[in-house]
Structure 1
């Protein structure tokens, strides 16, 4: 590979940055805070750290070198397919913080040594990136774990408004045409040195009619109007799946002692409350006045769908979302980001756990797409109406369960969130969540209904 030294330097920088961020998310918590109460949507922080180190062992050292594990007796416990989710919370099964940190640091040091001293083949480069990106996914889940259980904000969160913009509203109109979706197949990705997960490949063309999509995500102010119009109780706005979700949320509340009638719980997004004559939002361990101009966050697919029905709008399909974000046409230079091919910076997007989706939806003007859509990268993962299915010609990647376990019953979200690592994202990236999920940093934007 011609740029072997450059690629190695980049990999080593990414590896060390990832190690430091993960370590900080663990060591900044007091010992007592590592005893996270069981929650089905998050993993214990120490298990997250051990699992990430184990992933490097399996997909680099075991696969490429055939070397044995650091501690073979622990392999099943760090493997998400061998240890039940509830069992990850059993501290008697797992080592403590010091021992887990020692394991984690040892594996990272071995990784750095291997990258520095071993010839860099295409396969090695792909697996290194895969393992580093996998770890960055767990950095995001460590951040939303803190939000879920109400722990202090992680290191790096600032209250600064880093990229102010002027207010924008309304829809961007995307013309009818033929567009490119996705990333090249495996051989092309190796040839260009680019990276994509299996669910982003192979690239294909799609014909779309013209559509109008909101220039900015739905704000807290806009969603508050739905809440105050009794939107959660008005069943005409909720699909069958949405009504089932409301019923489930009510059942959960009844278990915890609430005796209100069906369809009164919830009445608002997950981390909102009405207190002292104002709407407030919990951001990590602090309740603060709801920022009306920030994007609505922590809403399920069903809530996004119901808001659209109330507003006389609809959710975009994932193809519409990608076209509005990237606007890639056959025969033209390919853009990986709304603004071009340069990776995200703090001027482009709210990412890397800095602003935590607390800035107005019209900030980050440098991140605008060619159609004038703002904050399509960062801020909140945006729900689309699309089910998560493979593209035609899909091939399972190095890690066979990256996508296959989610196909069929998950919805596609796009764009990354405030907690997503900027090294991980691009406009073709597809994330999949069950439609009931509201504990992750999910929001949405909407499309105009077709003219009749």
Structure 2
């Protein structure tokens, strides 16, 4: 990657973040507290602070823009609840000034200094970190019911011809992950530490759905009483159901009644029809779109109801990429060309509103659709390091999630297209449903 492309990535991240902040009126910046989101202004300041730490502090030893704010922008020094204390943080005008100053300094440094491989790696690391927070700014709007983000354009040409059913993946030896010993950080094969080192795995033949589970398919589970049938739920799933129910009863007298789970998070039965909330708009449930905002426990229970199972993360990657030892390696289901709007629903454009069989140009070698974008797909795998794992530049990128998180794959409609590849591993706690999570199943 040359300087021009790097500067373009940096500016794109800057403009998308600014748009997500400046498109909200002042009173909407004070979002209500929620454990799964951060206040928008804190997200912006934290992203700028990350550049300070990994570019200026680490490479140049220069002091921070405002050393008094360092602990407040650092996610490891400010408690999650304290990020809502507006008196501790600057307002929009001052936060934007800080944000733009840091981005201008980064751009100036890129232009002025030689672009070594190590420095390119750090720049890209910080830009990708920024894109992770762009995704969380989008799901924040969904969580609190704010208007859709500026990039949202639901119009799309008619969907392709419908497909359904399964494909069978043959038994064999397959490649998983990205190289762990590469020092060629200037290449496009950037990867985070949890994707490395690459290894070979022997898998038996398995059968996997060509498409993610749709709202129509999940609705059949709901209407069959799936949430009220304990035999469909694992111990963890029953505990999650009980916890959700207990919380709702506790709050019945103390405040707003929270939901007793009987359907996915943003569904409701209203005016004699099923509806789903998309940001601040309740609309009829789009039956052919993928089911979104479901927990691991809900995905697992649906699979048990349907006589199916979730794929392991190795099965998922093989179905998506089909990489074999000794053959050219592909980073995406379609090859190595970058993500485009014709291949995947990403970057906050259409927000998982297209049919599960859409995007034929993004099909995998085995005929699976939408394995990149649309929804983060739950797998049955616990999030653990690969053998030979080494901590990367940012020591907390992966290590804090090992053990108690589940692996999701593929990215979502809110994920930045520049961030994703088929080897990318995202980790979420199994009760998370505020993020754009869905799933596909195996026979």
Tell whether the structures are fold-level matches, with TM greater than 0.5.
yes
**Once the two structures are superposed, what CA deviation does each residue of 1:34-70 show, in whole Å capped at 9, x if it has no partner?**
0100000000000000000000000010000000000
TM-score with structure 2 length normalisation? 0.98
Listed as ranges, the matches of 1:108-257 within 5 Å are 108-162=103-157, 164-190=159-185, 192-257=187-252
Matched-pair contact (CA < 8 Å) for 1:181–1:205: yes
Question: Residues 217 and 15 of structure 1: is their aligned pair in 2 closer, same or farther, counting only changes over 3 Å?
Answer: same
Matched-pair contact (CA < 8 Å) for 1:162–1:346: no
User: 2:185 is paired with a residue of what secondary structure?
Assistant: helix
Matched-pair contact (CA < 8 Å) for 2:214–2:287: yes
How much is the aligned-residue C-alpha RMSD, in angstroms?
1.2
User: 1:447 is paired with a residue of what secondary structure?
Assistant: coil
Query: Which residue number in structure 2 is paired with residue 351 of structure 1?
Result: 346
Among 10, 14, 37, the residue aligned to 2:5:
10
Query: Which residue number in structure 1 is paired with residue 334 of structure 2?
Result: 339
User: 1:82 is paired with a residue of what secondary structure?
Assistant: coil
Query: Which residue number in structure 2 is paired with residue 3 of structure 1?
Result: none
Matched-pair contact (CA < 8 Å) for 2:291–2:438: yes
Query: Which residue number in structure 2 is paired with residue 76 of structure 1?
Result: 71
Question: Residues 406 and 162 of structure 1: is their aligned pair in 2 closer, same or farther, counting only changes over 3 Å?
Answer: farther
Query: What stretches of structure 1 of length at least 5 have no aligned partner?
Result: 1-5
CA distance in 2, matches of 1:163, 1:408: 43
In the TM superposition, residue 26 of structure 1 has moved relative to its aligned partner by 0.1
In the TM superposition, residue 193 of structure 1 has moved relative to its aligned partner by 4.9
Matched-pair contact (CA < 8 Å) for 1:189–1:196: no
CA distance in 2, matches of 1:7, 1:419: 27
Q: Is structure 2 residue 248 aligned with structure 1 residue 267?
A: no
Matched-pair contact (CA < 8 Å) for 2:319–2:366: yes
CA distance in 2, matches of 1:384, 1:255: 32
Query: Which residue number in structure 2 is paired with residue 95 of structure 1?
Result: 90
User: 2:225 is paired with a residue of what secondary structure?
Assistant: coil
Among 25, 33, 53, the residue aligned to 1:58:
53
Query: Which residue number in structure 2 is paired with residue 363 of structure 1?
Result: 358
In the TM superposition, residue 159 of structure 1 has moved relative to its aligned partner by 1.8
Query: Which residue number in structure 2 is paired with residue 410 of structure 1?
Result: 405
Matched-pair contact (CA < 8 Å) for 2:120–2:186: no
CA distance in 2, matches of 1:60, 1:368: 38
Q: Could you list the runs of 4 or more consecutive aligned residues of structure 1 that deviate by over 6 angstroms after TM superposition?
A: none
**Once the two structures are superposed, what CA deviation does each residue of 1:289-345 show, in whole Å capped at 9, x if it has no partner?**
000000000000000000000000000000000000000000000000000001110
CA distance in 2, matches of 1:19, 1:293: 34
**Once the two structures are superposed, what CA deviation does each residue of 1:138-190 show, in whole Å capped at 9, x if it has no partner?**
00000000000000001010121247211110001100000000001143543
CA distance in 2, matches of 1:130, 1:250: 41
Matched-pair contact (CA < 8 Å) for 1:163–1:363: no
